[in-house]
């Protein structure tokens, strides 16, 4: 089983800030995208069950390396990072093109992607990559069950009525959700081994992509302005220990005759 996980390094949730040009600041403090960790965990379990190798693929600036190291510590065999200054400000379309070009150079039975990212939230890059490479695209997976002998993969896709069981030939691209199960903590042995694992860096030239076709100048839409949500007045945050907190909340509600 050869698995590639599309892994994005995103600003640490809750600490996001903008640069002057209305771009998210990615110069420091990046972590792996939450949904990507869930598909990484699912991928690692598949490799443990079926044998093979899991490789991560990231498009992101050099601070993304920390998130990649964590994936290596969790058990990924090696990593590919597409780094190029021209990529800054790329939209989902350009990201899809770059990741597809990189993925095309890798061998895999399954490519896994998180359902969406905490910063972009478009949820379309996985579909874009699958479309460009002509891969079956299985979305909102809550379980991934490959059958290597038959060369097929089944997923349970979350639906409004429960879940659907979908089947496709491999190679395929699966977009997964948190229902795949909690990601593991990296072990100390994994952390120490991760330091000697390979992170290959590829540039746009390596992928044969014209720098003018990606990044801010090539976006199809533009951010005109960005405004933080208005502060809500009068909110009280209770950070006491649970029992004391319950008491304070009950007092608060009782004083307003709400209970």
Partner 1 sequence: MSGRLTQEQIDLRDAVGQLAREQIAPRAAEIDQSGVFPRDVVELFARQDVFALIYPAEYGGLGGTLLTNCLMIEEVSRVCATSGLILAVQALGSLPLLLAGSDEQKQRWFPGLSSGSLLNAFALTEAGAGSDSAGIRTRAVRDGDGWRITGTKRFISQGSEADLVAVVAVTDPEAGRHRDLSIFYVERGTPGFEVARLEHKMGIRGSPTAELVFDDVRVPDANRVGEVGEGFRIAMRTLNRSRPGVAAQAVGIAQGATDVAVAYARERVQFGKPIGEQQMVQAMLADMATRTEAARQLLYEACERIEDGAADAARWAAMCKLFAGDTAMAVTTDAVQVLGGYGYITEYPVERMMRDAKITQLYEGTQQIQRLVIARALLSAQ
Positions in the binding site for partner 1 (CB under 8 A): 69, 73, 185-192, 195, 239-241, 243-244
Q: How far is the CB of 73 from partner 1 (least distance, A)?
A: 8
Q: How far is the CB of 244 from partner 1 (least distance, A)?
A: 5
Residue 17 CB partners (closer than 8 Å, separation 6+): 11, 24, 25
| Spatial distance between the Cα atoms of 24 and 88, rounded to a whole number of angstroms | 10
> Minimum distance from CB of 144 to partner 1 (Å)?
24
Strands, E, within 17-129: which ranges? 30-32, 53-59, 78-82, 110-114
Phi-psi map region of 10: left, alpha, beta (phi>0 left; psi -120 to 50 alpha): beta
Q: To the nearest whole angstrom, how small is the minimum distance from the Cβ of residue 83 to partner 1?
A: 20
Structure tokens belonging to residue 151? 């060369």
Least gap, CB of 66 to partner 1 (angstroms)? 9
Q: What angle do CA 163, 169, 174 make, to 5 degrees?
A: 50
For partner 1, the closer of residues 179 and 191 by Cβ is: 191
Cβ–Cβ < 8 Å for 212, 84:
no
Nearer to partner 1, 22 or 185 (CB): 185
Helix (H, G, I), strand (E, B) or coil at 48: helix
149 or 188: whose CB is closer to partner 1?
A: 188
Nearer to partner 1 (CB atom), residue 205 or residue 244: 244
Residue written as tokens 């939230």? 121
Nearer to partner 1, 59 or 72 (CB): 72
- Residues 154, 147 contacting (CB under 8 angstroms): yes
């Amino acid at each position: 089983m050869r698995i590639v996980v599309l892994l994005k390094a995103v600003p640490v949730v809750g600490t996001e800030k903008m640069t002057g040009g209305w771009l998210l600041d990615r110069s420091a403090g990046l972590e792996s995208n939450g949904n990507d960790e869930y598909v990484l965990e699912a991928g690692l379990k598949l490799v443990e069950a079926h044998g093979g190798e899991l490789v991560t693929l990231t498009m992101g600036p050099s601070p993304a390396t920390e998130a990649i190291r964590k994936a290596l510590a969790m058990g990924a065999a090696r990593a590919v990072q597409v780094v190029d200054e021209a990529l800054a400000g790329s939209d989902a379309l350009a990201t899809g093109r770059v990741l597809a070009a990189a993925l095309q150079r890798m061998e895999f039975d399954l490519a896994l992607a998180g359902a969406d990212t905490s910063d972009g939230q478009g949820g379309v890059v996985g579909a874009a990559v699958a479309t460009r490479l002509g891969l079956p695209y299985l979305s909102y997976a809550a379980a991934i069950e490959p059958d290597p002998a038959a060369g097929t993969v089944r997923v349970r896709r979350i639906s409004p009525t429960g879940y659907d069981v979908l089947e496709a030939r491999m190679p395929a691209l699966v977009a997964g959700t948190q229902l795949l199960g909690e990601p593991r903590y990296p072990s100390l042995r994994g952390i120490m081994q991760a330091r000697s694992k390979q992170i290959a860096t590829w540039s746009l030239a390596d992928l044969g992509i014209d720098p003018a076709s990606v990044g801010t100048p090539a976006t199809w839409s533009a951010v005109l302005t960005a405004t933080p949500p208005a502060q809500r007045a009068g909110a009280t945050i209770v950070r006491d220990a649970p029992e004391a907190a319950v008491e304070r909340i009950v007092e608060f509600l009782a004083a307003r005759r709400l209970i």
